[in-house]
Amino acid sequence: MQEVLMTLVNRADQVGSLLRPPSVTQAWKAFARGELDEAARRSVEDDAIRVLVHQQEETGIGVITDGEFRRDVWWSGFIPYVEGIELFEATQSPFAGNVAEKVDAYIPKLVRTAEPLGHPGDAIMGDNYKFVAELTNRATKVTIPAPSRFHFQYGVNAIDESIYPNREQFWDDVTQVYKSEIVGLENLGCNFIQIDDPILSFFCDPTATAKMQSDGENPEVLLKEYIDATNAAVSERASSTTVGLHICRGNARSTWAVSGGYAAIAEQVFPHLDVDVFFLEFDDERSGDFEPLQLIPAPTSIVLGLVTSKRPELESPDLLKRRLDQASQYADPSRLGISPQCGFASILEGNLLTEEDQWAKLRLVSEVAEDYWAN
């Protein structure tokens, strides 16, 4: 594996997931039916990822991922492998309110503690990282779900009180899992880890915060718990490791879960989260304006998700540059980068656009970045 030296900001970046080819989608469905074992499924993924890495390099994008081909939903490559976790089906979908005709609402699975939580030993994402890193000389990013995903979807029911009489003990074990994972990845040479935390956007939406209150939670207190958990999770990272944090408002088959600008959480989140790069959704009016960016302290970098992964229409380069100019009123352009607002396939069946649409969008990101920061 070749060591890659990272700059703190990659002008042209991506969030992580990419549209899975039919071979991978079919392999996952066969695996779910018990017709394919994990080794056979991974072999199909291996072949697809080899092609995918080359395709990403051809777009000029600055950071390479495995497209999240080895998971069927954005968080499932990590959480199910944590010791003590139990998954089960939910009945309600946060995406149901904006589902297009003929598109079923995605229903996320729930997570609950069945035993004390623990890390299995070797890095959960280690083999996935090594496979990609050996295929490219470019920076390779690993994406993992935030600690909040261990709790939010099922709330108070996520924690078995006979195992964890108080939440402090629960969060201590959750964050220790992350510390072990990050050390394991660093030992393999990984120096770019992105934490995906769409749950933070629920605190931007009054309807979502009202539901938290009806469930017996204080949204402000809960948000601080999640911030503290993420900070603890990354607190022992090496100085050479870049940690990014991605916030979006849900992404499943081109639908979204919540709305609301960052102003609602900016004072609590941006100055206090101990990360090196924010990846922020800004592809439409649901994300609000750029003013909250002024609360992100230097030298923290900001990758603006200006290109939508939800629709096939290609954005105007001039419009994207004007948007970058607008953001530069609140954060120095030397700290900024550009990317799609989220991945193209946060779940197995990706967003409603083609692979060619996807590659055109990533080429656009690269071309705009090269032009905008040419000087």
- Which pLDDT tens digit goes with each residue over 213-240? 998 999 999 999 999 999 999 999 999 9
Residues 182-203 have pLDDT tens digits of 999 999 999 999 999 999 999 9
Residues 6+ apart with CB under 8 A from 211: none
- Rounded-to-integer distance, Cα 259 and Cα 201, Å: 8
Residues 354-368 have pLDDT tens digits of 999 999 999 999 999
pLDDT at 109 (0 to 100): 64
- Rounded-to-integer distance, Cα 333 and Cα 292, Å: 15
- Rounded-to-integer distance, Cα 228 and Cα 226, Å: 5
pLDDT at 273 over 90: yes
How many C-beta atoms surround the C-beta of residue 80 within 10 A?
15
- Rounded-to-integer distance, Cα 295 and Cα 268, Å: 10
Distances (CA, A) of 153 to 112, 202, 215: 9, 11, 12
- Rounded-to-integer distance, Cα 44 and Cα 217, Å: 43
Query: pLDDT category, 252, cuts 50, 70, 90?
Result: confident
State the DSSP code for 302.
E
Per DSSP, the residues of 186-251 read HHTT--EEEEE-GGGGGGG-HHHHHHHHHTT--HHHHHHHHHHHHHHHTTT--TT-EEEEEE-S--
- Rounded-to-integer distance, Cα 277 and Cα 302, Å: 6
Residues 21-29 have a mean pLDDT of 96
Spacing of C-alpha 40 from chain mean position: 27
Distances (CA, A) of 292 to 154, 262, 268, 284, 295: 29, 6, 11, 16, 6
Q: Say how many residues make up the chain.
A: 375
pLDDT at 335 over 80: yes
pLDDT at 212 (0 to 100): 93
- Rounded-to-integer distance, Cα 157 and Cα 46, Å: 37
How many C-beta atoms surround the C-beta of residue 173 within 10 A?
19
- Rounded-to-integer distance, Cα 38 and Cα 27, Å: 10
Residues 28-39 have a mean pLDDT of 95
Q: Are 275 and 243 in contact (CB under 8 A)?
A: yes
- Which secondary-structure segment (H or E) carries 40? helix 38-59
- Rounded-to-integer distance, Cα 372 and Cα 307, Å: 15
pLDDT at 30 (0 to 100): 96
pLDDT at 172 (0 to 100): 98
Pick the closest to residue 77 from 237, 196, 245 (CA basis).
196
pLDDT at 1 (0 to 100): 32
- Rounded-to-integer distance, Cα 128 and Cα 105, Å: 29
Q: Are 342 and 309 in contact (CB under 8 A)?
A: yes
pLDDT at 9 (0 to 100): 67
Pick the closest to residue 62 from 126, 18, 17, 6 (CA basis).
6
Distances (CA, A) of 267 to 259, 273, 291, 343: 18, 11, 12, 26
pLDDT at 95 (0 to 100): 52
Helix spans in 68-218 (H) = 126-133, 167-187, 206-214
- Tokens representing 162 are 């006979």
* Residue 25 vs residue 99, higher pLDDT: 25
Domains of the chain as residue ranges with CATH: 22-372 (3.20.20.210)
Residues 293-297 have a mean pLDDT of 98
Q: Which of 5-19, 59-73, 162-176, 302-316 has the lowest mean pLDDT?
A: 5-19
pLDDT at 160 (0 to 100): 87
